[in-house]
Chain A
């Protein structure tokens, strides 16, 4: 059994070893759970992290063929298609994602980005103005809208959007740049020059930060985090089907890789609760809503890349 093969081995110490473990686990998920959309989706994520985009996309398609309403698989296909520059398919898949997970913000922002890249400016405006949840703040949304209105020549609206972004983050470089372009076109050259000077300083600071990040970058830790996140999803799935021992083993493995892995911690806590009070309705806490699937360790979907939606990734 792959689980014992993998999880009885020492914790991987190098990036290469982590990638090898990803491969083993992906194969296990693909063969042991061929009809589980959740596990196929997790296998796809592992393939994606390994850079195997073709295989990842195939797995997401397999998941869709089992459950065409599964939003995370549509999201995965959309990501791959966008990376390949196939904007039309990406847009279609993002729309499918949002159809089956209408509250998800991250795919919505990503769709906006792809629409802009595809030159569908009016569609992007419509999406970001009308479909975006009013309760969510997103600087990225404002800067994209600013960009759209700038393309349309609507300088007043573009300016408003960039100013809204800057009101949330005065150092947002995209907004500073966009606003400086608006000001130039509005004839406010002096103000634009001031913004440009400020932008240069902000960019220099960003570069310094990036250098520091690069200097301290722990690639092994990042890969370990990705694998641990998938383990968290697997553990949650196994717990949901009452495979408690396997779930525990895998959650422990996740924590070995990344001690603060939240999904794994939560799974272990739930297992303990289950053991302490067998009649407790722990499993009921697992929502069946597609926007909060048992395997979903993110709040807005399963993006293999990207962070919080408040800023452009």
Chain B
């Protein structure tokens, strides 16, 4: 697939370049006429933006609307249960948000469970892919794409493993895993066997792509939960009420690390990398450069035991250092039932912090990075645990929901046991989710009850993911609910602030730019982020980085440190747009999402129009 350069029409120029200070309305996809006729004029230099002098306050609350019923998503999760209460049942599942067809609209891939012994529910549950058509319409393209795996889905991540320009999918199952290569034409091919990444019959968990040795090819870290077979099933009761067994009832196991051999295969390097020496009970995990030394480290949630923190020596060899780094336990030194984890620079000090979910009668945990990947549990002193203590918490999304420049926190809640109320009415199987507003002063406030009907939905949530599904500059949320339909939350927060979204493309670095570190400067507002693949509760999202800019109408500077170590800088990027940054290129490109249609125009190419920083339009043709 190639890049075709076109000029842009004056109308499109106006649309794209007039700085938007007003609250962004939900974006409508540009008409094909506009996009296709973008051929006549050339763009000048980005205009010199003038800072908006009137600073409006951030909204006091968020507003999320539940749009699940109206957006065409009919997915129903099943855990394959029959009342026997296998340990695996409540662990399912994560989800993936990614733009699989490169049309500028972020699509959804839901994992599903599978029939377990005794199951008598609907036949053939499988994973489902929903293509985002824009305007909150989604189309089930599972069959067409060929990604309807029927394994017991637990964790998922995506990245461009073969550097061919589109994102591939890895699914971590109970049982053999599945690796799907994106063919670039709306279909995928199962390449598990040829890549050598099935990972046996293990019980999976979170998974992430990470370029551990910065060789320009993403490697694959696969979490494994416990050693479980149906023969090992045990029954538990609490106060006479049947309950699920826990990880301590089973043997801990090490995770698996695969190195990308650059030839379409992967090699298991769990031994030489140090990973195989660490037996744990992995659930969520996230890779990031926590010590700012240029390589990605990995934080691993271990259920009811100390977490692991793998410090990368730069060559892909890891040293476990969670205890001395302050992330093994909570502040009191107790191991938690660590579930999911996300990372972001929550206090804008240039160091990635960690935010972890856990079990009932434990709060979520905010590990604040004190610098160089030494952390403190700052949950209590920042109010980050507000509202979470009675609930089992799973998915966690760190994102700036009101574009005020500070990352907020979304937490998915729901108990393991569907009968928990019979023995404990301090909690509930179905629970409302939690949203914390980052006040920017080091404090979090629980604003769940004031943040719209979307936060009043009570289900037993698991994985959660956040991305801008309607390209309006506000991060929306998708949640997998155990045994039920998912929840799609449209962010309608009436924020007065501006935003910027960045799509990074590596060249010498891996194409997905996993591990790239980004600094965005807008006035006095300085933000940092990093491209990740695999995060939260066994989920993946956020390849398109989102920055709230407050009242600033441009980013004066964007600096990207690529995984190779190369640093590129771009200046004066106007706000309220999706921008593509390519390693080694001086131009930045404005991505204008294509108008989608329900069917794939396989023969007639569709285009994504991009406007570069000098005003030339580029139209990316695909399919």
Contacts and interface: CB of A to CB of B under 8 A. Distances in A.
Interface in A11-37: 14-16, 18-19
22 contacts: A16-B240, A18-B240, A19-B240, A51-B424, A85-B388, A117-B363, A119-B380, A119-B383, A147-B331, A151-B376, A174-B334, A175-B333, A180-B324, A184-B324, A184-B326, A185-B374, A192-B324, A196-B323, A200-B323, A211-B248, A219-B237, A223-B240
A131 interface: no
A52 to B, nearest CB: 6
Given A203-B306, A214-B249, 19 more contacts: A15-B239, A50-B423, A52-B425, A80-B426, A84-B390, A116-B332, A143-B332, A151-B376, A151-B380, A174-B334, A177-B329, A177-B333, A181-B324, A181-B326, A196-B323, A196-B324, A207-B248, A214-B248, A312-B332
B357 to A, nearest CB: 14
A107 interface: no
Interface of A: 14-16, 18-19, 49-54, 80, 83-85, 116-119, 121, 143-144, 147, 150-151, 173-178, 180-181, 184-185, 189, 192-193, 196, 199-200, 203, 207, 210-211, 214, 219, 223, 312
Which secondary structure dominates chain B's binding surface? loop
B382 A83 contact: no
Given A53-B426, A210-B248, A14 B332 contact: no
Nearest to B374: A184
- Across the A-B interface, the 9 shortest Cβ-Cβ residue pairs: A15-B240, A85-B389, A174-B333, A177-B333, A196-B323, A51-B424, A119-B380, A16-B240, A51-B423
B240 A144 contact: no
Interface string B349-378: 000000000000101000000000010100
A195 to B, nearest CB: 8
Interface in B190-240: 237-240
Contact of A121 (B249, B326, B361, B381): B381
Of B329, B332, B334, chain A has the most CB atoms within 10 Å of the CB of B332
B305 interface: yes
Nearest to B331: A147
A85 B381 contact: no
Nearest to B250: A211
B233 to A, nearest CB: 15
Contact of A173 (B249, B333, B380, B387): B333
A15 B333 contact: no
A310 to B, nearest CB: 15
A87 to B, nearest CB: 8
Contact of B324 (A16, A175, A189, A312): A189
Contacts of B386: 85
B385 interface: yes
B422 interface: yes
Contacts of A121: 380-381
A184 B322 CA distance: 12
A84 B324 contact: no
Nearest to B389: A85
A147 B333 CA distance: 9
Contacts of A15: 237, 239-240
Contacts of A223: 239-240
A203 B388 CA distance: 26
Contacts of B382: 119
A290 B331 CA distance: 35
B335 interface: yes
A207 B323 contact: no
Contacts of B305: 203, 207
Nearest to A174: B333
Contacts of B331: 116, 147, 150-151
A89 to B, nearest CB: 13
Nearest to A215: B249
Contacts of A178: 333
Nearest to B238: A219
A14 B326 contact: no
A307 B421 CA distance: 25
Contact of A219 (B240, B332, B381): B240
Interface in B97-143: none
Q: What is the size category of the interface that chain B forms with chain A? A: 35 or more
B136 to A, nearest CB: 34
Given A143-B332, A177-B328, A177-B333, A54 B425 contact: yes
A200 B388 CA distance: 28
A196 to B, nearest CB: 4
A121 B377 CA distance: 13
A120 B464 CA distance: 31
A117 B385 contact: yes
A251 B231 CA distance: 45
A219 B237 CA distance: 8
A144 B390 contact: no
Contacts of B380: 116-119, 121, 151
Given A54-B425, A175-B333, A14 B240 contact: yes
Contacts of A116: 331-332, 380
Contacts of B326: 181, 184
Interface in B307-330: 323-326, 328-329
A84 B383 CA distance: 15
A119 B382 CA distance: 7
Of A16, A175, A189, chain B has the most CB atoms within 10 Å of the CB of A16
A223 B241 CA distance: 12
Nearest to B246: A214
A199 B323 contact: yes
A81 B243 CA distance: 25
A211 B324 CA distance: 26
Contacts of A80: 426
Nearest to A140: B332
A193 B328 CA distance: 13
Of B239, B423, B424, chain A has the most CB atoms within 10 Å of the CB of B239
A176 to B, nearest CB: 7
A34 to B, nearest CB: 23
Contacts of B389: 83-85, 117
Contact of B361 (A83, A150, A184, A193): A83
Contact of B387 (A49, A85, A214): A85
Contacts of A51: 239, 421-426
Interface in B374-412: 374, 376, 380-383, 385-390
A85 B328 CA distance: 23
A121 B389 CA distance: 19
A278 B313 CA distance: 82
A16 B325 CA distance: 46
Nearest to A120: B380
Given A19-B239, A219-B239, A151 B426 contact: no
Nearest to B422: A51
Contacts of A193: 324
B498 to A, nearest CB: 33
Contacts of B388: 85
Contacts of B240: 14-16, 18-19, 219, 223
A173 B305 CA distance: 12
Contacts of B374: 184-185
Given A18-B240, A207-B305, A174 B332 contact: yes
B383 A85 contact: no
Of B240, B333, B383, chain A has the most CB atoms within 10 Å of the CB of B333
Of B325, B422, B424, B425, chain A has the most CB atoms within 10 Å of the CB of B425
Contacts of A192: 324
A313 B328 CA distance: 19
A147 B324 CA distance: 15
Contacts of A211: 248-249
Nearest to A220: B240
Contacts of B248: 207, 210-211, 214
A54 to B, nearest CB: 6
Nearest to A147: B331
Interface string B332-352: 111100000000000000000
Contacts of A84: 389-390, 426
